[in-house]
């Protein structure tokens, strides 16, 4: 990882709006630093960040992984070694280059078998790639340990997303406990999403400082359903305001 590369990881239980917030981070960083190199990584198997950013990847990192593993299983180790050597270029091919950012989808992990060597190698390749960027934004799965296992060893800024529910708050507290043991990170903060003003006093999060409260945003919920990207949102939409506030408190903008 480049000394100055900032790696922002977004985690929290499913359905709390991680993807919208990750996409808003990419947009705000791109608008704040037009000359910066920004990489968005979709590490959630649901691959929702593609819609939120308005991109259409043709392949995923797990697609590359499967091709390598299949070669080994079919008794073609020489081909697998060649593919591993090519993996860096294949990942470059998989990566989409947009005007304001680059995009990489990790895809759905294989349930069967352990491909530790392939995983470790591809994780190393992603870390090498990250050197080429100023900001990397990772839209994570519900648990932080998957990110650590599949994508990045080191995170500079960890954003835990919850809704006001007791369950959501408990999940971010648990993720923080796991992160403290497993993940190297520099800063951590919480964003409470889809909150009504009257319920703010009842939000109980022990994990970290609350960076911002984002009101329930009906307009954006419809955008999600209609597949409209975050770049089409008005500047003053709640998700943009709340995400900007969180990035400011983390001294990223």
pTM > 0.75: yes
Residue ranges of the chain whose pLDDT lies below 70: 1-2, 47, 109-116, 142-143, 145-146, 148, 219-225
DSSP 8-state code for residue 211: E
Label the pairing between strands 184-195 and 102-105.
unpaired
pLDDT of residue 109: 65
- Sorted by where each starts, the structural domains of the chain and their CATH numbers stand as 6-249 (3.40.50.300)
| Tokens encoding 112 | 């069967």
Q: Between 77-94 and 61-73, two packed helices, what is the crossing angle to 10 degrees?
A: 170
Contact by Cβ (8 Å): 143, 175: yes
């Amino acid at each position: 990882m480049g000394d100055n590369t900032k790696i922002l990881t977004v985690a929290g239980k499913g359905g709390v709006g991680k993807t919208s917030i990750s996409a808003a981070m990419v947009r705000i960083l791109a608008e704040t630093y037009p000359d910066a190199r920004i990489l968005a990584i979709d590490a959630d198997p649901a691959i929702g960040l593609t819609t939120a950013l308005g991109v259409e990847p043709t392949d995923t990192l797990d697609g590359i992984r499967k091709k390598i593993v299949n070669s080994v299983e079919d008794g073609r180790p020489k081909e697998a070694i060649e593919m591993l050597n090519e993996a860096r270029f294949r990942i470059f091919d998989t990566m989409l280059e947009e005007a304001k950012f680059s995009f990489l989808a990790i895809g759905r992990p294989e349930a069967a078998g352990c491909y530790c060597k392939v995983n470790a190698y591809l994780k190393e390749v992603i870390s090498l790639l990250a050197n080429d960027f100023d900001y990397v934004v990772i839209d994570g799965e519900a648990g932080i340990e998957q990110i650590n296992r599949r994508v990045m060893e080191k995170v500079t800024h960890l954003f835990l997303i919850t809704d006001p529910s007791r369950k959501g708050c408990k999940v971010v507290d648990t993720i923080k406990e796991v992160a403290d043991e497993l993940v190297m990170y520099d800063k951590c903060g919480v964003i409470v999403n889809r909150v009504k003003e009257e319920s703010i006093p009842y939000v109980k999060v022990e994990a970290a400082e609350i960076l911002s409260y984002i009101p329930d945003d009906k307009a954006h919920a419809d955008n999600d359903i209609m597949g409209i990207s975050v770049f089409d949102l008005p500047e003053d939409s709640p998700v943009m305001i709340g995400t900007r506030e969180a990035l400011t408190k983390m001294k990223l903008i």
